Amino acid sequence: QLDLVESGGDSVQPGGSLRLSCGAAKGNISSKTCIGWFRQALGKEREGVAVTYSGGLSTRYADSVKGRFTMSQDNAKNMVYLQMNSLKPEDTGMYFCAAGIDVYCYTLRRASFGSFGRGTQVTVSS
């Protein structure tokens, strides 16, 4: 069981950048098949944004963030990061990290993840 804690959320203008961090207060990130980033806008369902798997050697992104977001995993520090560039208003939402719970987690489907953290708020607005 991982106890994940997100940080780094803030309010930025469109076109700006943010780097989110996710650390495990308990447990080892490297022991999980996948670690994913999800986001949830007000009134909308939680959606997958990015996932690392194969010990952090592989990544997969939602089409909406490809080319703008980069996820990385540092097993030595027990951390994952989400670098977000060229932010858009539609990127606004609460961002969560989570651990994969089955072999399909690399697809970023919501049902394949558990141990969600409490989230960190990202607001993109002029």
DSSP 8-state secondary structure symbol assigned to residue 9: -
Averaged over 6-34, what is the pLDDT? 95
The pLDDT of residue 86 is 98
Q: How far apart are the C-alpha atoms of 63 and 73, rounded to whole Å? A: 20
Three-class SS of residue 105? helix
Q: Where residue 25 falls among pLDDT bands split at 50, 70, 90?
A: confident
Q: Please say if the pLDDT value at position 55 is more than 90.
A: no
By the 10 Å C-beta count (0-12 exposed, 13-18 middle, 19+ buried), 82 is classed as: buried
| Partner residues linked to 113 by β-bridges | 100
- Those residues whose C-beta lies under 8 Å from the C-beta of residue 96, and which sit 6 or more positions away, are 6, 37, 38, 39, 40, 46, 116, 117, 118, 119
Q: How far apart are the C-alpha atoms of 125 and 30, rounded to whole Å? A: 35
Averaged over 48-54, what is the pLDDT? 95
User: For 73-102, what is each residue's pLDDT tens digit?
Assistant: 999 999 999 999 999 999 999 999 999 999
Averaged over 35-58, what is the pLDDT? 95
Q: Please say if the pLDDT value at position 56 is more than 90.
A: no
